[in-house]
Each structure stands twice: as structure tokens, then as C-alpha cells.
Structure 1
């Protein structure tokens, strides 16, 4: 046997062994094929050698084939290893994909995949909990299916531009689910690329409506708490300034300035009416155009102001048309009447950017604020009256055929003058009216028919005039006193039926309530005169001086002697006869002097117009 054949046989036997080892290790049947093949080739080689003689060169190709077979087995082994590795990787990948699919299928988040055009190609079951649509219903659709319209077009354009640039978009969207309900959704959209080209988009949606609503409630509560704290500080600051301010003008300025310092407030003003009934601005700060627009031409605004200024009602209006002007930033106006008891000092007008301020400063707080400011204004007015004793004298022309003085003048065809109003011991209001040029019988007959006055009594009838006393349930003097004014005189001329009233009110006092009080009592009332003057002040010393100037020496002596002798005591210490003897005159002469002195004393005390130039006092 030559070396070629021997090498070929040995090589084939080695190949069989090598193939068996690989077959056992890998279990790949291809190595079994090579084992059988090489076994038969080795057997054939042995049989050939046994029956053939020669150089063995003819077996050289077989040797080459044997070598190639072993090389094939070697490379097949490497291929099988690589194949097994790939299979393992594929198996691992498949397992991961299976796990991923299960995770996606069972995820609590809605997940869907779209093509580059936005058409949905896959959606997991959880998409129904987010959108209300089943997966089969959304596949082939566009996510616009649940677009709510709560976001503008620029919102979606920005989102689309972000993901098309290869970036991830993350944010919250308000979607509309299948039942038409708006839901907050936390959305993440990521592009899936290959070689820089976008093949898909993957979106993960989570319904966060409950969380978002809680968050919004907390934010709203925090915002309201912040607003409430800010408003409480504003009200406390206003109250502090109110109680420390002593002038009305300063008070109005202080309150207005403090309100307009708040970011929500556009303009603040204090508005009232003039004596002629025209609305006017006493003080304004901030955007004056807003206040001017309200006062000038809006029916809604005027009715809002009137409700506060004239009727004392706290009002808030969001329908003020003038505030829709592009130059005016406010859209809500609130008015707070400034009053103290039955005194009205106008209204505080606050123009705001929204109604939120008036949601915090509610009706009760605004009413309390108005009362506080009104009380402070009243206190300032009272302080000013104490410091400045000048008065404003107002003269009114009046007409009212049904008013008692006018009725009395018409019935007696004589001029009537109010002499005094006072109160008797039972608390009834008493009115004294003097009728010129009339006899007592005519005066009493006429007095019995006067409405609203009762119990007419003839007090005196002298010098052609009668003084009548009436009981009244309500007097003009009482009404005026509520507004800090006093009734100084009232005259009615019988020929013309015209009346005149003279009223005193402290300088600086609001005369509008006085005008309104008169207008409500008489058919016609017109302010025809107004002047400031120093008040008439009666001192004890001045009273004595005037009285002594009026009394004769004998009258003064008669009055003084009676006083010192106890004539006016009860029981009397001395009679009139005793006092006359003290003066050395007869009793009749003494009584004449005493009666004259008493008449002059009472005239000076009660202001009888018949003997005094002073205007009669009205109590």
C-alpha cells in the first residue's frame, strides 16, 4: 500500500471520527450524513486497495476529496455554531418581543402606532379606556378622531413639527372620547426611524383627568386663597385708613387710591349727585376713561350707578357696553353705596379686569365696607361742623295745594307763617302757625278742616293775626333733622298760592338729601337761593342785654321785685298786693308793669315775630 492511499484512508477515518464528535456535540444531522459518507468512502478505499496494485496515484483525487470533505465538516461546524447562535438570538428576541407584546397588550396606557402620514396601524386594548373606541375601530383612522377642539391649530402644528424633526413630543392634551366627554390625556409621541427615515410614530396615552381635576381644584383653591388673602389685606388697609382719616375729601382719595393699587382694578371713583340731580365724580383715580364712559352713555352703567347712588343697592355688572372699547381694559363694574343710617354719601365705583374681585368681596362684605366708609364720612362731616360753625342758607320756592299751610292759607285767604315746631310732654309733635289778617272764628273754622293736622287750638288773637296750635304726626323739621338741616322759616302767600322755605345746613354738608326730602313732600320744589352766613348765636349775656333794653325801669323793677319776694314760688311767699306795697304803688299799677315785663320776657325767649326782628327758632 503506497503512502497516498494510506493517507487517504487515514484522512477519511479521521473525518469520520471528527464528524462523529461534531454530530454528538451539535446533534445536527448533517454531520451524520458526512459520517456515513466518509465511512463508505473509507470502506471503498480499503476494498480498492485490496484488489488493485499500482502506484496509487489514481487515488490522489480521492485524497483531495477526503481533505475537502474534512474542510467541509470543519466549516459546517462553524456554520452550525453560527446558526445556533443566531437561533438563540432569534429565540431571545422572540421571547423579548413576546414579552413586549404581552406588556403592550396588557399595559394600562393606551398605545397606538401610526404610519408616517398619521394613520393608525396598531392599537392596544387599553386604547378603549382612554378614547372610548375599541382597537378595531381606530385602526385605519387618524388620531383626529378624538380631537376636542380645545386647542388651537398652532398647538397641533407645533406637535407635528416636533415629531417630524425626529424629536419626542410630551405633553397634556384635552381629547373628546367616544361618548363626547372631554378628558385630560398625558401623551408621549416618539418617531421610529430607520436610516434617518421615519417609518412609524408610537404614541402612549394616559388618562389623567382625575389627577388633573384634583390639580386644577388645588390650584383654584390656592389661587382663591391667595386672592382672599390679598383682598383681606386690602380691606384691612382700607379700614385702617378710614378710621385714621378726618376729612371726607382725604377719605375718598385714600379709599380710591388703595383700591386702584390692586392689579385687578382698572379705575376707582366716588360718585354722587349734585343738588340739580346730575351724576358727578367727586374723585377718580386709575383709568379715568372707564369712569367717563360709564357716566356718559351706557344705559346699563347708569342703571347700575343709580341703584347705588339713589337706592343704596350694592351692584355688580358685567354688561357695561362702554367697557368693550379697545381703549378700556375693564369688563366688570361694581358699585358700593356709601351710607350711614339714612344718610347717603354717593357710591364707590370700582372697574375691574374681571369679576373675580367681586366673587371674593361678596355682597355682604361690600355692604359692610360701604357702611364703614359712610360712617367715617359722617364722622368727618360732624367734626367739620364742630370746627366750622358757618351755615348754608337755602331758600326754596314751593307749591302744594294739599300741604297743611297751603290749605290753611286758601281757607282763610290769608298769609300763613310757620312759627315753631316742638314736642309736648307726651312726645307729640306740635306745630304753631300764624295767620295774618283774620279773625279768630274764621281761623278756627278753617283750622278744623286742615288734613294731616289735628286738635287745632287758638293760642292768641291780637293785632289782626291769629296764632294756632296743631298736633302733627310727622313734621318737615323732623325729616330735615335726619339730614343735619334745620327749618328756619316757612311762608305761604294766599294771593298767589306760592310758598317759601328757608333751611339752614352746615357749610359743606351735602344738600342733595335736603332737596330730595323737600321734593318728596311738595308737588313743586325749586332751589332759588343759596348763601353762606354766620349763625345767629344767643348767649345768656346777650339775652339779658336785649331784655333789659326792651324793659322800662319800672317794668324791670316790678319783675326783679317779684322774683326776690318769692312771688313766682308755689305757694307764693308774698302776694301781688304785698309786692305792690313794697314798690309803693297800688296793686293794679304794679300788675300792669309786671304783665308788660312778662310779655317782653316771653317774647325774647320764644321769638314772637310781632315784637322781634329775629327769625323764629324752630325746635
Structure 2
């Protein structure tokens, strides 16, 4: 590099970068606001821009060609001299270096900041420097210094030899040493050898890793010889000579250490709550811990007494502020403890704020805390002055209160567990009793399956009931609507003379069987000995040793078959068994209904009864009166949901009137016109309310005919031979009191064997129908899924598909006619 002008120094073609030549770069550097210079390997300034001259207060001509030491003089130490570093290591030694240099201007010194980078130009190493006024940096440093001095934590700087080079005022305050006593001293003045070794190891780890900071908890020794627990967080700090020291932040953690010690002591004390088995024991341990560990002047716990509706003192300790054994219960008068308990929020007791003794708090203390204990009560902590209640105090008192609440809740849970265990034991005893009863019921169920008549069922049930040692006597009776009495039909047990003694009084509603029959609900008498004066049946029962009784109606689907009464020799023998016996009564009634149905199906000889019911007492009569003509019932089909489908003709009624009547009815859910037959129509109505027809069918009878007019509903029913006609009529009148028996005749059901049935069916078919039916059957037309379609059957017979369908439907109609024909005995609904 020969000349000062970049163009004169250039040799050959100008160097370019992306088409831009040296002259352009020279002009660009000349335009910089910061001073710029280039120094070759000999230490000579070979280039300077105008801004450098302005920064130095000299012309550029007096700078270029001069030694670097003359342009930028060194600092107070050799390490601060850029010329010396350049001479020692060449331009590369200045790469990344920053120097503070002083210049004279108008007789005063001004500081500049110079930063260097090493570059290669025309095959030679060159140091390029940029110079700017250091006033802004000084101002920034001053700001940082002010910030450091105002922070609450101590800040220090150590060199690589652990010599203190800088501290802020907080370090001075923490250690008791003056700044001049600390700066320049070794860190061992404040820390022991062990701490310094830990710090050195941590510094080495920071240097060799990507971590930026390390934290050490330790202690330092103050000028007065006291030990202060501290937490130090530090990072590495680079110096100008490429060495590293420490920049650290020191925090006094005396309060935290004390809190931790208190928490440990609190934990150790409250851990004993796990072994306490009583509420007084819990409260005593808590208040003693509060005074001993938290250094309170007094403590007390009030627990809720639900019976007295008050907060009652459970334990007191310390005696501070009047908290002693003389504490009285607090009534729910809106005092401070009650507000805390109800609202669930702690409160500060402050005499200066009007919460002192005699001002409505209900507490004899001047200052303290009142903390809720959930649903259990409140915890009161007394202090000497409200100034002693800081955040830490509130936290520690809150923790102790939470421990007390949890311990009290634990005792409640354990108490509840014991109660649950007792309850489970009682339930187990009850389950054992129920198991015995279920065994009896299973045996009764088996008997019900085998019994062939209602009387057999009654006898078998009574025998099975008294076979259990729990029950002494049982009987089944049937109410007599005419006089309101209950007639015994079956009985078993120790002393059946009881029925002789009470027979005249069974119409009295006081006797359990009579009460159950009259009300239709189970009746339990826990103690027969109670109420002897007003209920004569009790004397008869006690004379036989009966001490308790139960009576349940034998009813299923609103069909009443009587009542079952059971007696035991000990009081309260039927506790919790009412539902079981009620279900048993329904099962027995169901079996009796089934027995009636079986008898009706198996008996050929029938008794035909004719009845008349007032039209106002049945929906069919109302319908006939509304449409203005008689209603002829074709058939009745019950539904699973309790509704019934009624198929009927209303020959004298217009279709519109029939539909209007159905729409106006509350019990007719829907009405469909099924078929038109001449001038008449067949209707299907879904009736959700009970009719006289369903009442008859529920009793196991078959309806032969039914016709309703505006005045009455007339119908005929069939009963199997041997059926109790009086009992049937009484049951019907229990639903329709105005039911009038108008006729009674005998009828013989024609017997038909299976051979006769098949012969009759064959007789009704034509030859062509028989052929089509057999081909369709054998080709799998009636399988599911179908193995042949109607078209395939037609193709096999060489006829049309509609012809096959017509013949098959005719066959099915004739078969169903044999089964459901209304002309056969069994009628509309059997």
C-alpha cells in the first residue's frame, strides 16, 4: 500500500464486488458520520475519512501517513494502547478490540471510543477502525450505575483472581464494610474457602457450557462477625485483556430461611395430627402449635355446635389478649367470628378500626386474625399489634388453619366410615333376612307353577309362608263387595281359630286384611299390642302370640283376587319387607289370573253370562251416543302399553260424524277406516282408557258379542265350567258398579282334534288353491329370508304373479278364519 488516495494505491484494474469499484467504496466511507481509518502492518495510517478529522479536531492531511500512536494515543495501561497491540501482533491483534482514547480540544480532554476489525486488502492485512465520541456511552454507563445503586439486591464484580473490583451500595449495607474497604480486597473477606471453591467450579462450568448464569445459596460474614444467609446468582464478565471475572447479584434470604424453618417446625408439629383420634385432641394440638411455633400471643378454636346453633370454644392457648378458658359460646348474632364462618373469608381483628373488645366482634382481643375452618368453625390467632400481621404471618396462620380443617374433616370422614360400616352391617343382616325371604318366594313361585286352581294356589302359598320360622300364621281371603267382609279361603299355621274369633269383624277397616282389601295397598302393623282398647282383633291376635302382621292385596293389572295376611310372633318382623310382600302379592295374583285362563282354555263346557252396563259408564256407550247410532264391536286386541284396539261397525253413522266423535274424545287416540262393506264401514279405534270389554277379558272370560247404544252397552261373556260366577260378577262390579247380570245360560264348546282341523281346512280349499299353496310352501316362499319369490312360484306354475298372490291370500284367509272366526265359541276376544 503506497499512497494515501485509494485510487492512487490501486494497481491494475479496480477491485470490484458485484460490479461496484473501489472509488465507490471510498466515497461511501467518506460519507460516514463516524470517523474511519485504515492502518497497515507497519502501524501507519493509510486512510482516513473527513469524519475522523472532525472527531480528532485535525485535518485529514495531518492524519494520513502518521503512526497510529500519534493519531490515537494509548490509555493508562499498555493493554489500552492500540499501537502497542498492533506492534505486538499486527493488524490481526486489533480484530474485535475496543479502546477508549483521549484527545485535547481547546485545552480540555475529550474521550473517544475506537473499535477495530482486521481485513485483507490487496493481499495484505489491514486494520480498519471506527471512531466515535464516547460521551453517549459514558452517559449510558452513568445510567447503568444509577440503576445498579438503586436496586434492592447487592451487585458485585470479581476479577479472575476473586478480587472485588466493584460493589454497589446494597453490598455495603449488607456487609457493613465501606466501599473502599471492599474494592481491591479478596472475596475471602466475606466468604469461606468452601464457598469460593464452589464459586470457582461454577464459573468453570459456565465457561465450558451454554449456561449463562449459576445460583449458589450460602452465607457471608459481615464486618460485625454475624452470619447472613444469601442467595447469589452470577455470570461471567469479560475484561479487556480477554480474561473473565464474575458479575453477581446477592440477595439477603434471612426472611426466607426463617420462614422455611418455621414451616419445618409447623410441619413437624402438625404431623402429629394424623395420630389424633378426637376433635378436642385436634384443636388442643393446633392452638399449642400456634403459640409455640408461630410465636402468637394467644390462639383459640371455636367449633360449631349444630344442636345449640352456636360457635363453642374447643381449645385455648397462650392467654394473650383475653383468650383463656373463660371464653363463652358465640351466638349467631352477626359478630366477626360468625361472619367469617358464614362467608368463608378470613378477617383481621383491629381494635383501632373499631373491632376491639366491646365493639361487636365477640372476641376479647385487640389485634389478630380470624380464619374459617370450613364447616367446622373458626380459628382465632391473637397478636400484640396489627403491625405484626404481615403476609408471612397470614400465610403461616392460614396453613395451620388448613391443617386443622383437614384433620377435623378426616375425623368426620372416619366417623362417617364407621357409621357406614354399621349401616352396612345392618344392611347385611337385612340382606340375610331378605335372602331367607327370597328362598321362600322361590319355593312359592315353584308352587304357583304347579298349582292348577286358585284354591290350590292359596293353600300352597299359606303352607310355604308358615314353613319359615319367621312367620306363625297366614291366610288368603276374598273380599265380599255386598257386605264389605273378607271371606277366608285358604290358611295355614299355628292356630287357625284366630279366623273364627275375628270372622265377624273382618269387615272392620282396623283388621289388616280388611284394610288392605279396602284400600288396595299393603298394610303393616309393627306392634299388635298397641291400641288394644279400640281394635278388638288385636286381642285375638295377642291371644295366639301374634305380635306383628302384614296384609297385601292380591292384584295384577288392576285385577283383584283377594288378600294375603301373614302374622309373626315378634314385633316389627315385617320392617323393610313391605315392598317384598307387595311384589309377592302381585306374583300370586298373576298366577291366579293364569289359572283362570288355563281353566278357560281347557274346559269345553261354558257358562254364558249376559250383562248390561249404562252407556254413561263406558266409552263405547259415549261413542254410540255421539255418532247417533249403535256400535257393533267386531273384535278387541289389547296392546302392550295398556291401550286396546277396538274394531267396530257404526252402520247408522256417517263417516264424518264417526271421525268427529273420535277427534272429540279424550280416550280415543286414533281412528282408521279399515274397510268399506256396502253401506257400512269397519273402523279401528285405539282406546287408551279402560272399557268394560277389557275389564271382562282381564278376568279370563271370553267376549261373545258386544253392542253399544246411546242408552247401554250389552255384551255376552263365556266362563269355563266350574268358574265362580258370583266372584266374577263381584269383580266386574268393582269396576262397573252398575253392571247388571241379565242372563245366564250353558254352552258346549265343540271339540275339534288336529285331524279334524286339517280336514276342515282342506275342505275349504279349492284344488287350484291347494296346488299353489303346496308349491309355494315347498319352494320356500314362507321361509325367512324367502327362498323363492311370488314371481318364481308363478313361473313354476306357468301362471301370472297376481294369480299366485290371489290364491295364496285366499288360503291364508281361510286358515285364519278357522282360528279367529267370530262364529266359533270364544268370540271376539278370548
TM-score, normalised to structure 1, is 0.45
Q: Identify which of structures 1 and 2 has the higher relative contact order when contacts are C-alpha pairs closer than 8 Å and 6+ apart.
A: 1
Q: Flag the structure with higher helix content.
A: 1
